[in-house]
Amino acid sequence: MKIELPSICGAVAFLKAQISMATEKETVEFILAKLRPRNRFSARAMFGEFALYADDKVVGLICDDRLFVKIVPASKVLETQCEQGPPYPGAKPHYIVDEGQLSTIEKLSTILFAIAESLPAKKSKPKSKKLPTRR
């Protein structure tokens, strides 16, 4: 199928519509501000999007300016309140928490901590052996 574009401006507009934009830093700050206690949550940049951490464990993703929460038994309470969808093409489905739900879902922080608690402990990385340098 051939698509004809009228001008370079039309081509740019067409491509922008096809490519999803990265999450805005303000969105991440807004989501983090809704979670309590704030010092137990963090977000780290990851390929233009963000991973959401609770107690240093990834409990969700912030992609396309939306919060995606991992689907695990500890998050089952969100099943009746949230839609499901992948945060990016090829990803497993997550619960999608819309902006309005950030304030209305009771105990969202508690749910996120329960997810963190249910995840395996972080594996420590072995120290890499340095190879001798050739001279």
What is the rounded average pLDDT of the residues 99-107?
91
Domain for residue 28, yes or no?
A: yes
Domain for residue 73, yes or no?
A: yes
Domain for residue 53, yes or no?
A: yes
CATH number for the domain that contains residue 91: 3.30.1460
Domain for residue 109, yes or no?
A: yes
Distance CA 80, CA 122 (A): 30
Domain span at residue 77?
A: 19-118
pLDDT band at 124 (very low <50, low <70, confident <90, very high): confident
Question: Is residue 10 pLDDT above 60, yes or no?
Answer: no
pTM of the model: 0.77
Domain for residue 67, yes or no?
A: yes
Domain for residue 2, yes or no?
A: no
Into how many domains does the chain fold?
Answer: 1
Length of the chain: 135
pLDDT digits (tens, 9 = 90+) for 22-80: 899 999 999 999 999 999 999 999 988 999 999 999 999 999 999 999 999 999 999 99
